[in-house]
Amino acid sequence: MARVVSQTKSAAVNPLKSSQPLGAAFAFLGVDGAIPLLHGSQGCTSFALALLARHFNEAIPLQTTAMNEAAIIVGGADRLEEAILSLKARTRPRLIGICTTASVEARDEDVVGDVENIKRRRAIELVGTEVVVANTPDFDGAIEEGWSKAVTAVIEATARPDKQYRNPRKIAILPGWNLTVADIEHLRETAVSFGLDPVILPDVSGALDGSIPEEWMPITNGGTKLQEIRDLGATMQCIAIGEHMRRPAEALQRLTGVPYVLFRSLTGLENVDRFIRVLAAMSRKQTPLNVRRNRMQLQDAMLDGHSHMAGKKIAIASEPDQLFQLSNFFAAMGAEIAAAVTTTGTSKALEMVPAKTVKVGDLSDLESLAAMADLIVTHSHGREAARRLGVPLMRVGFPMFDRFGSQHKLTVLYRGTRDVIFDFANIIQANHPPNPGPLDSTDRRESQ
């Protein structure tokens, strides 16, 4: 069990975190016809927008209430109302997902109450548009928690209470923020191959998958349909992926009675085996041929790759659930987690990270712990540290702004695990060649 060590410095140096409202906005982007609205100063949105656009290489629909000096003094309710009505009139979204920021939260504004008032007063103008609030101050949490709060808020605001007809084929899947577009598509295909009908929330495989609509779209284009979210109570079972998805899964259960099963990670043979068993049990079907084949390919990759990875020292920094997911995978391939750094110390997943300690900190903490590592695993901001230390970098998570195709990388189930092994082993091989060096290396050996 890992011991969680909290931050002692007064300044964060090279932050690992991206903010909580960004995480919430990210989740809202997985709902069809949505637009996230950050309630705060203009910069909050501008920064989040630029970072999301750099990561996805896509246009990102995101708006701001543009709090000004007066709003900071007298409160932002008027600007919130103006923003909601303006967005409704201009873009006709089906969902406006409000993410609060540090400025309104530090004022202790009752944004939920404000939105209720606005909805009541402007009921006619807002017909056809859901308005949902996630309380996501920047001074707390990070992407993971923002994501989880937004999904919870959507469920609580729209899912209909229980006593519905339950469709035995229908299941709900609540993926964590660390699943890519490719992961979600793969999850859906796998569930469908068992004859199941999955509703995935949020489903970022719509707006953020690189499709090209004919017209300019000011709102998300693709993702979970609102009607599907309303009908989540008609599913037989909910599958939550990642500890941070426990909160929305519990909200769903509370509202609709749909039971949930939680998978902390879908990467690694054992985790996937358990998942496949659950799908087989729910569908009462034999495991399809393609899934069986994928499992064999994974086993083969494990056999081929393990020797390059055994004993390698990994320094990893990420949000708690992704840290858990990847560090367990590395440990299962025989590598050693030499350093683990994360963004917030509250997640239960951290205790299960296979390292002596997990440090709540920033990339400078990672840098000071990673000097002797064989591999640094973190997002693109780790590039400078990796360069300074001369240790190769495996990019994971968010943001990844200096590599293409992060969304189309597969990281879950048998095939995803196989791909991660390939990635991992190739980086290790490129830096520690498995074959003997050139012949003149004997001279060097003698001289040493």
Partner 1 sequence: MSSLNAKNKDAFHALASERSGSKGPKARRRNCARPMAPGTAVGGCAFDGAKVALQPITDVAHLIHGPLACEGNSWDNRGAASSGPTLWRTSFTTDLTEIDIVMGHSERRLFKAIREIKDGYAPAAIFVYSTCVTAMIGDDIDVVCKRATDEFALPVVPVNAPGFVGSKNLGNKLAGEALLKHVIGTVEPDEPGLCDINILGEFNLSGEFWQVKPLLHRLGIRVRACIPGDARYLQVASAHRSRAAMTVCSTAFVTLARKMQERWDIPFFEGSFYGISGTSEALRRIADLLVKKGADPSLLHRTEILVAEEEEKVWKRLEAYRPRLEGKRVLLNTGGVKSWSVVHALMEIGMEIVGTSVKKSTLEDRERVKQTLKEENLLFESMSPRELFSLLLERKADIMLSGGRTQYIALKAKLPWLDINQERHHAYAGYEGIVQLARQIDLAIHNPVWPQVREPAPWEPALVVEKRAKREA
Q: Which residues bind partner 1 (CB under 8 A)?
A: 9-15, 17-22, 37, 40-51, 53-54, 57-59, 63-69, 71-73, 79-80, 82-87, 90, 101-103, 106-107, 137-140, 142, 212-213, 216, 218, 362, 364, 381, 384, 401
Instruction: Return the closest-CA partner of residue 184 out of 220, 157, 212, 224.
Output: 224
H or E element, residue 124: none
Nearer to partner 1, 51 or 302 (CB): 51
Q: 421 is written with which tokens? A: 């092994």
Shortest separation between residue 155's beta carbon and partner 1, angstroms: 25
Shortest separation between residue 406's beta carbon and partner 1, angstroms: 16
Nearer to partner 1, 213 or 436 (CB): 213
Nearer to partner 1, 80 or 358 (CB): 80
Nearer to partner 1, 263 or 398 (CB): 398
| Beta carbons within 8 Å of 431's beta carbon, 6+ residues apart | 374, 392
Shortest separation between residue 4's beta carbon and partner 1, angstroms: 16
Nearer to partner 1, 39 or 170 (CB): 39
Shortest separation between residue 368's beta carbon and partner 1, angstroms: 11
Report whether 225 contacts 126 (CB < 8 A). no
Shortest separation between residue 203's beta carbon and partner 1, angstroms: 20
Q: 446 is written with which tokens? A: 């003698």
Nearer to partner 1, 72 or 255 (CB): 72
Shortest separation between residue 361's beta carbon and partner 1, angstroms: 10
Mapping DSSP to helix (H, G, I), strand (E, B) and coil, where does residue 362 land?
coil
Q: Could you give the CA distance from residue 142 to residue 137 in angstroms, rounded to a whole number?
A: 9
Q: 366 is written with which tokens? A: 């990672």
Beta bridge partners of 241: 263
Shortest separation between residue 211's beta carbon and partner 1, angstroms: 9
Q: Could you give the CA distance from residue 319 to residue 18 in angstroms, rounded to a whole number?
A: 10
Q: 129 is written with which tokens? A: 């548009």
Nearer to partner 1, 64 or 178 (CB): 64
Q: Could you give the CA distance from residue 250 to residue 29 in angstroms, rounded to a whole number?
A: 22
- How many angstroms separate the most distant Cα atoms in the chain? 85
Nearer to partner 1, 218 or 392 (CB): 218
Q: 238 is written with which tokens? A: 């909910």
* Burial readout 298-323 (b: 16 or more C-beta within 10 A, e: otherwise): beebbeebeebbeebbbbbbbbbbbb
Residue with tokens 């490719």: 182
Shortest separation between residue 367's beta carbon and partner 1, angstroms: 10
* Burial readout 264-278 (b: 16 or more C-beta within 10 A, e: otherwise): bbbbbbebbeebbeb
Q: 164 is written with which tokens? A: 């519905």
Q: Could you give the CA distance from residue 336 to residue 380 in angstroms, rounded to a whole number?
A: 22
Shortest separation between residue 239's beta carbon and partner 1, angstroms: 31
Mapping DSSP to helix (H, G, I), strand (E, B) and coil, where does residue 39 land?
strand
Shortest separation between residue 383's beta carbon and partner 1, angstroms: 9
8-state DSSP, 217: -
